[in-house]
């Protein structure tokens, strides 16, 4: 890299937007219908950063890729698959596709920003001109045919190009879920999530116990040797990647760990844990099967029924102590579901909502389409209530002004909207065999889903405005 490009990369890296997300993974035997589920809140540094829901068709996929942030150049294969994507609307810092499902029903979510430590970076420093969150979905998802293949392709790219930041990435197909975490500039480790397990991950290196020769793990070829050579393992009798490569900071105890604690508390209420515990487990097993609605609730949560609830009755210090999962910086929540009890043509469902998650619902869009509804695709930097991104953000903003007053309206809306979406989905599934042209049939279903979502979100906002007007401070009780 010449000096001019180096200085440009440094400038972009200094001003890049760092995400701070929450991830939930659910194995096929842990989910209510046998689906694999990978999901994430795509959170940003700023409260508002418009996003779009699009399909990238093979002709639209670049063959000569160059990132905006690091300026890295990557030559891509000539045979990309079609895939869904949730890119930024404003491309100042690059595409940032966030997540998607490809035409082989392989899903990817990238990334969960994670942590590291100085011992690791002293051995394998970050690469200024490497790849990062901006790039990963574009470089990997169109070229993989299984979740494991996604791990191997991303691992190869990390070893070849390096990275300038630590990230966790989820991959899934109808049978398997894999979770990869980057280590330093060039290394990585991945673990297959057991079929009967779930994971909640929140901005820390999450993988704990790790066996290098197990069938459910993958990693850089020299990772075990690096640990030994540089004496990186702080434990006497175990290999715990979180201890070796991750962090255990004060920030973790208030920003990261409490989110994992609350998710695990929701799925396993019978287990008592400390919200600040640095060693909350990575792999968990719920007492009951997990639904899409369960995942959405946790990804929208703010420590409900605890003293830490932002909208609750705790002291001001308690309510401000922990970073909530649902937050004003949620840009989207995606739940990528690969179903195994339906034909492969309709197996991939890209559930999606925009904005802060307290006053929105996820919509089950079919992934096997060539285009997406305009109300989810065309948001830009101009405020427009005809775009779901801006409509959702507006509803959340109003709801935040008096959560207790508006929450019953929100609860009724959620029940009715999700029921309506599921009816449309069930009807679409049932009519598959009579569809003459599959993709137009599924695209029409997506249009119906988007119209239903826009209608119900608009109705919710309208009810909130009408009822809230009675409580405005700008009023006087003596009528004219």
Buried b (16+ CB within 10 A) or exposed e, 154-184: bbebbeebbbbbbbbbbbbbbebbbbbbbbb
> Is there a contact between 62 and 143 (Cβ–Cβ < 8 Å)?
no
Measure the CA–CA gap between 290 and 277, rounded to whole angstroms: 24
DSSP E strands: which ranges in 144-214?
167-172, 177-183, 187-192, 198-201
Measure the CA–CA gap between 116 and 120, rounded to whole angstroms: 7
**How many CB atoms are located within 10 Å of the residue 277 CB?**
14
- Rg, the chain, Cα only: 22
Six token digits for residue 402: 């008096």
DSSP structure string for 346-361:
G-EEEEEEES-GGG--
Question: Considering Cα of 40, then 43, then 47, then 53, what sign does the dihedral take?
Answer: negative
Catalytic residue among 21, 219, 284, 393: 21
Residues 6+ apart with CB under 8 A from 265: 271, 273
Helices 388-401 and 403-430 meet at what angle, rounded to 10?
150
Six token digits for residue 204: 């820390």
Six token digits for residue 236: 């006497």
Q: Which residue has the tokens 């404003």?
A: 90
> Is there a contact between 302 and 324 (Cβ–Cβ < 8 Å)?
yes
Measure the CA–CA gap between 4 and 6, rounded to whole angstroms: 5
Q: Which residue has the tokens 């440009």?
A: 8
Active-site residue, 393 included: no
Residues 6+ apart with CB under 8 A from 473: none
> Is there a contact between 325 and 302 (Cβ–Cβ < 8 Å)?
yes
Measure the CA–CA gap between 358 and 120, rounded to whole angstroms: 38
Cβ burial, residue 395 (10 Å; 0-12/13-18/19+): buried
Q: Which residues are catalytic?
A: 21
């Amino acid at each position: 890299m010449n000096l001019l490009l180096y200085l440009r990369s440094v400038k972009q890296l200094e001003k890049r937007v760092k995400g701070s997300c929450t991830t939930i993974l659910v194995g096929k035997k842990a989910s209510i219908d046998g689906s694999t589920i990978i999901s994430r809140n795509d959170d940003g540094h700023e409260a508002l950063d418009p996003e779009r829901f699009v399909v990238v068709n093979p002709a639209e996929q670049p063959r000569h890729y160059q990132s905006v942030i690091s300026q890295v150049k990557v030559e891509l294969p000539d045979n990309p698959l079609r895939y869904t994507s949730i890119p930024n609307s404003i491309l100042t810092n690059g595409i940032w596709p966030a997540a998607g499902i490809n035409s082989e029903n392989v899903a990817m979510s990238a990334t969960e920003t994670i942590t590291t430590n100085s011992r690791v970076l002293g051995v394998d420093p970050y690469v200024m001109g490497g790849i990062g969150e901006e790039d990963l979905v574009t470089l990997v998802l169109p070229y993989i045919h299984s979740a494991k293949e996604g791990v191997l392709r991303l691992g190869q790219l990390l070893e070849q190009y390096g990275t300038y930041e630590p990230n966790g990435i989820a991959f899934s197909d109808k049978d398997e879920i894999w979770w990869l975490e980057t280590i330093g500039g060039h290394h990585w480790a991945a673990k297959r999530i057991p079929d009967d397990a779930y994971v909640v991950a929140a901005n820390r290196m999450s993988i704990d116990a790790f066996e290098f020769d197990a069938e459910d793990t993958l990693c850089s070829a020299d990772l075990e040797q690096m640990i030994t050579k540089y004496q990186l393992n702080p434990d006497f009798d175990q290999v715990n990647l979180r201890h070796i490569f991750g962090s255990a900071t004060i920030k973790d105890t208030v920003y990261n760990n409490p989110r994992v604690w609350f998710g695990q508390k929701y799925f396993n209420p019978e287990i008592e844990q400390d919200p600040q515990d640095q060693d909350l487990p990575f792999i968990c097993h719920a007492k009951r099967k997990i639904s899409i609605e369960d995942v959405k609730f946790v990804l929208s949560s703010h420590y409900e029924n605890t003293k830490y609830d932002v909208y609750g009755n705790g002291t001001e210090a308690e309510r401000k102590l922990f970073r909530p999962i649902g937050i004003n910086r949620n840009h989207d929540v995606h739940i990528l579901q690969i179903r195994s009890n339906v034909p492969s043509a309709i197996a991939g469902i890209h559930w999606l909502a925009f904005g802060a998650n307290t006053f929105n619902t996820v919509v089950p869009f079919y992934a096997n389409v060539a285009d997406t509804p305009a109300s989810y695709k065309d948001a830009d930097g101009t405020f427009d209530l005809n775009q779901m991104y801006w409509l959702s953000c507006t509803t959340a903003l109003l709801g935040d002004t008096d959560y207790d007053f508006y929450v019953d309206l929100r609860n009724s809306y959620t029940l009715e909207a999700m029921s309506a979406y599921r009816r449309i989905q069930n009807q679409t599934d049932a009519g598959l065999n009579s569809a003459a042209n599959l993709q137009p049939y599924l695209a029409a279903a997506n249009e119906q889903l988007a119209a239903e979502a826009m209608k119900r979100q608009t109705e919710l906002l309208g009810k909130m405005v009408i009822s809230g007007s009675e409580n405005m401070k700008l009023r006087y009780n003596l009528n004219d």
